[in-house]
Structure 1
Amino acid sequence: MKYTIENEKLLISVNLTGAELCQIQSVQTGKEFMWDANPDVWASYSPVLFPVIGAIKNGFVKYNEREYAVPRHGIVRNNPNVKLVRKTENSLTFGLQYDDVTLKIYPFKFEFQITYTLYDNRIIVSHEVTNHGDEPMLFSLGGHPAFKCPLSDDEVYEDYYLEFEQVETESTWLLEKDGLVGNHTKPILHNTNVLHLNGHLFDHDALIFKTLKSTQVSLRSTKSGQVITLHYADFPYLGIWAKPNANFVCIEPWLGIADNADSDQNLENKEGILNLESKAVFKALYSIEISE
């Protein structure tokens, strides 16, 4: 089941399973901006990442001397127990709350909500995490939206580039074969705000940036001039990824990161982990801006 809302500029749809944004369409032109989740390539549109991001070392984390097998990217992605909390003329809110099943793989009494709000030519993606437990709660969260690339039939992948808000000199942290973050880096941005796309850019998996100055990045075409801009000021980490030679690109804002290869697997020591006090609420948002 999916839910749809629209305004005078954009139509969006969200799958109930996983609360996954699955469509961004121009109302005026009918143009689609989201990847189509072709199962032969990558069968997702925009996974919601909570309470972990990416791979977990050996498939489990440790907390209070117990082991918890948290799935890769967490427990919201592909989850059929997500509920529609609220639908308004311009927003959709979905939620997932702890139960006996989640407590076996993630030891905290959480409530997670994600809201998609249409505002003019923007989709605002708002996250709200509540700690219903009596102890501090440890978690990460992030987005994984996949955008169609190229956007037009008369373009190719190499016509596109990413334009960062600021000039950057930044390296990517290299992933090991099991998806863990290694201790080696590779220079990617050299005093520039432009990263050109090509079919081999992701041959060694995602680009992972930890210290970008920019808080927004745009997917641009040298031919059509169309622009998709992701604003991510609340998210200190950024991932860029696609399957090699696939016709999409993911721009991923993260609060947290995959496990380090030398991780001790203790959740409290995990890089980028957030600490939420008992009964407290955490909020963070990013937005997707469509310019035609």
Structure 2
Amino acid sequence: MDVLRTIKYNILKGYLFIFVQQKERNMSSYQVKNDVLSVSVDTSGAGLTSIKDKTGLEYLWQGNPDYWSGQAPILFPICGSLRNEKAKIGDNKFCSMGRHGIARRCEFTLRHLDIDSISLFLRADAETMKSFPYDFELEMTYRIKDKTVIVEHTVTNHDSEVMPYFVGGHPAFHCPLNDGEAFEDYIIEFEKPETAGCPVLTEDGLVNTSNRKTFLENESSFGVKHELFYDDALIFDTLASRSASLMHKETGKGIRVDFEDFDYLGIWSSANDGPFVAIEPWSGTSTCSDEDDIFEHKRGVRMLAPGQSETLAYTISVL
């Protein structure tokens, strides 16, 4: 085989851990589980790679490059894009990074592994400081409780200056879930009726605040259609709801994402009719058309004092 796999099985409290080390990719994959769900996470980017129920049904998108090779990247220290991929930050410093930041392309280190939880962390180094000039630590923790995956982002500022940042999730889910179903058989349902408009995104992924389209008028759900995503993601910035479900309109089978700690929600699929939908809790958005290029002026920016940490979490529940 081209990829060398070393598999270690450890029996602990009646469950099975599977650790797969893929040396060719310099990446390790870990699985945690309970009697309802099994969840896999990679050290490369620290994102989810699988969410299966006890029947073996896979909920998480598996990254077909014909549509989108990603699955559930971690967004840090930005959500979305910076204008021209750069901004002034701090005291006469600059940051430069592509869409959704740098964490998704970094190798994380395992900190904790148990039957039903795992934590991995990323500490700033000389390479990350070329893009984001702060001594940060980002720890990703995944816990399983019954039918729910709890996703925690803990950011620590090890620097001597106040650190501005954003963080978010980008989990994508199979749509449809089962053979014989269609993309259009699914709906997005919010917990409350919403009257909401979505700002239109520019070709380079920025938010055009002067161009908004009314999307919901006192409605709690809408049907999923491929054409909704031909102009990129739907960005909801005025929701009263703090949960959104992707589910079959007749059976109710699907997932729910609860995002109490996040002010923004992106819903996205690929423009070439990808068979998946991403539900994305964000603490902020791309640079807006009415904003300058100073990082601290962006909507939703979080400011973390030296030596301090904070955790933002969302959950994914199987329905």
* Bin for the TM-score computed over the shorter chain: over 0.9
**Which residue in the other structure is 1:141 paired with?**
167
CA deviation profile, 1:83-122 (whole Å, cap 9, x unmatched):
1111011101010011111112111111110101011100
Aligned counterparts of 2:195 and 2:256: Cα–Cα separation in 1: 20
How far apart, in 1, do the equivalents of 2:296 and 2:245 lie?
34
Kindly indicate whether the alpha-carbon contact (under 8 Å) linking 1:215 and 1:232 is maintained by their aligned counterparts in 2: yes
1:194 aligns with 2:245: no
Match of 1:256 in 2: 284
Contact 1:6/1:118 (8 A) holds in 2: yes
Paired residue total: 289
How many Å apart are 1:42 and its aligned residue? Answer: 0.4
Superposed, 1:43-192 pairs within 5 Å as 43-63=69-89, 64-79=91-106, 81-183=107-209, 184-192=211-219
- Contact kept in structure 2, 1:112 and 1:129, CA below 8 Å: yes
How far 1:262 moved relative to its partner? 4.2
How far, CA to CA, are the matches of 1:69 and 1:120 in structure 2? 41
Match for 1:267 among 283, 292, 295?
295
The structure with higher relative contact order (CA 8 Å, sep 6+) is 1
Q: 1:6 aligns with which of 33, 58, 64?
A: 33
TM-score (norm 2): 0.88
Q: Which moved more, 1:143-152 or 1:261-270?
A: 261-270
1:24 to 35, 51, 72: 51
Query: 2:18 aligns to what?
Result: none
Q: Secondary structure at the match of 1:19?
A: coil
2:103 alignment partner, SS class: coil
The CA distance in 1 between the partners of 2:238 and 2:291, in whole Å, is 20
Alpha-carbon distance in structure 1 between the residues aligned to 2:102 and 2:274: 26
With 59-68 and 228-237 compared, the bigger mean Cα shift is at 59-68
Q: Tell me, in whole angstroms, the C-alpha distance in 2 between the residues paired with 1:263 and 1:46.
A: 28
SS of 1:58's equivalent? helix
Residue 277, structure 1, aligned to residue 305, structure 2: yes
Give 1:268's aligned amino acid. E
Q: How far apart are the structure 2 equivalents of 1:216 and 1:189?
A: 16
CA distance in structure 1 between the partners assigned to 2:131 and 2:39 by the alignment: 32
Does the aligned pair in 2 maintain the 1:61–1:70 contact within 8 Å?
A: no
Contact 1:57 1:261 in 2 (8 A): no
DSSP-derived class of the 2:296 partner: helix
Name the SS of the counterpart of 1:154 in structure 2.
coil
RMSD: 1.0
Cα distance, 1:263 vs structure 2: 3.1
Q: Distance in 1 between matches of 2:230 and 2:216?
A: 17
Q: Distance in 2 between matches of 1:85 and 1:78?
A: 19
Q: Percent identity?
A: 39
1:227 positional shift: 2.7
Aligned to 2:11: none
Following TM superposition, by how much is the alpha carbon of 1:136 offset from its aligned partner in structure 2, in angstroms?
A: 0.8
Which consecutive aligned stretches of 4+ in structure 1 deviate over 3 angstroms post-superposition? none
**Larger Rg belongs to:** 2
Quote the Cα distance in structure 2 between the aligned partners of 1:82 and 1:71.
19
2:46/2:108 contact within 8 Å kept: yes
Distance apart, 1:223 and its partner CA: 3.6
Matched with 2:12 is none
Call closer, same or farther: CA 1:34–1:12 in 2, change over 3 Å.
Answer: same
Distance in structure 1 (CA, Å) of the matches to 2:230 and 2:217: 20
For residue 226 of structure 2, give the secondary structure of its aligned residue in structure 1: coil
Q: Secondary structure at the match of 1:5?
A: strand
Contact 1:155 1:223 in 2 (8 A): no
Q: Could you tell me how far 1:72 is from its partner in structure 2?
A: 1.6
For 2:79 and 2:312, locate their aligned partners in 1 and report how far apart those are by CA, in whole Å. Answer: 15
SS of equivalent to 1:158: helix
TM-score in terms of structure 1 length: 0.96
2:255 counterpart residue number: 228
